[in-house]
Structure 1
């Protein structure tokens, strides 16, 4: 099974070397993709210093956001013919040692696996307000979306890549952290076989959180929008999602075309940020 492990970075120089060593120890046969948003703290240099032959580093020209970085990883995995895509955060909150458990569920026949802090056996190092917010946000998502999972917001996940061609990538072109719940809804809409495995979620290592305070309010708005979509939209037909070359940076697979109902622009590149 050809596996790609992906993480997005922005000023994570203090964490990335430990992350990559952990990935190599957990899944030595996997390839690794890092998408860096022009970090100013030496993140890219720290990655190159490891000289890992299985590492692909894509450096984008600016801070383009976590959602588009994950879309770029989706396109990269599809274009290069991977069987499994694993995604995790670069800040030390996700333990690479848990990756084999996620891959094992893909091998067992599931299409989407999420590492859960809240299912039996999972744990969360947060305390106080942050713990309350995380737990109740996911409980609210479960009730509104009516998807039988305990976790919706963490990015520690595994996908069967062949099933990802059913995604309408333009509808997943979202700012901030809203992509996380939108992707779960897309998997449910297309009847992916979904499951979760327990993980330990740790507080980040070096650096500070990149989540802006207003993201909480945007997340609530997006959750309500997704719940409405789940309630009224008919099951979409499976599509063979095409991959398009960017006319600006010429990356062979990074141009996301929006459908007729989408807002302008009509397309955008998740590698260079160009739009038209």
Structure 2
């Protein structure tokens, strides 16, 4: 196996109304990295996605399903999936969208980069990365949001909002998932910042992000603005805390 040295691998796929996409996403993922298991986390999708996920699990022993009571946000779904994966003893835990925007065939390059990293992010905004079928407005919103995150948090990551990534299990344990309160899309940025704050290594590799063909996107200008609002508040508190930490030794050294 190509990634035997990494140990047991699972990719967490959150779903809400992805009945037209989930089977293809899982099939492509299983073909791209046969040794990887799949954990589908379904938020009680009214379109029957959960039932399709159960069928996939019945047909393939490397597919599991976690059913949740309702839609509580992307971050909450991932936290539930990460908790299940950690309890199951996986060594590598990944994220991937169910809608076809993340190309499972690119997962091997993320796993290869994990050899000398603690978190690897599939990035749209580094050289070699690209997007397909996005409007100029959406591209500007994503690029601008990530520039804002870099400036506010002072992190050297170009696509902190990307949801295509792989963690070492030790990384998730060190950043204390029990204290994460980010429920929506800001969750992705939160975990990047926590990983860097813990002194761990984050790598980015270029990916091609393709706009979904079937179903409706869960992202909207309203959701994006709400995420930026939360990042602003969190980021300002983060900077204030850093400033207090820097000033404290100076105060203590006064005669």
TM over 0.5: yes
Offset from partner CA, 1:31-64 (integer Å, 9 cap, x none): 1100001111121222233311111101111112
Distance between the aligned counterparts of 1:35 and 1:207, measured in 2? 18
Kindly name which structure, 1 or 2, has the bigger radius of gyration based on alpha carbons: 2
Partner of residue 77 from structure 2, selected from 69, 77, 83: 69
2:103 matched to 1:95? yes
- 1:133–1:234 distance in 2 versus 1, CA, 3 Å: closer
Offset from partner CA, 1:221-254 (integer Å, 9 cap, x none): 222123224423359xxxxxxxxxxxxxxxxxxx
2:190 matched to 1:190? no
Offset from partner CA, 1:137-181 (integer Å, 9 cap, x none): 111111221111110111101101012211232432222212111
Instruction: Show the 5 A alignment for 1:151-190.
Output: 151-190=159-198
* TM, length-normalised to structure 2: 0.87
Measure how far apart 1:213 and its partner are.
Answer: 4.2
| 2:248 aligned partner | none
| 1:123 aligned partner | 130
2:253 matched to 1:228? no
Count how many residue pairs are aligned between Structure 1 and Structure 2. Answer: 234
Partner of residue 204 from structure 1, selected from 187, 195, 212: 212
Partner of residue 45 from structure 1, selected from 45, 48, 51: 51
Distance between the aligned counterparts of 1:81 and 1:206, measured in 2? 34
Distance between the aligned counterparts of 1:13 and 1:104, measured in 2? 31
- Secondary structure of the residue aligned to 1:233 is helix
- Secondary structure of the residue aligned to 1:214 is helix
Contact 1:78–1:162 (8 Å) recurs in 2: no
Distance between the aligned counterparts of 1:128 and 1:94, measured in 2? 19
Distance between the aligned counterparts of 1:134 and 1:214, measured in 2? 13
- 1:187–1:109 distance in 2 versus 1, CA, 3 Å: same
Q: 5+ unaligned residues in a row in structure 1: which ranges?
A: 236-276
- Secondary structure of the residue aligned to 1:13 is coil
Distance between the aligned counterparts of 1:229 and 1:88, measured in 2? 30
C-alpha RMSD of the superposition: 1.6
Partner of residue 11 from structure 2, selected from 5, 9, 12: 5
Q: Give the number of the structure whose residues are more often helix, by fraction.
A: 2
* TM, length-normalised to structure 1: 0.81
| 1:14 aligned partner | 20
Contact 1:185–1:226 (8 Å) recurs in 2: no
Q: 5+ unaligned residues in a row in structure 2: which ranges?
A: 1-6, 244-255
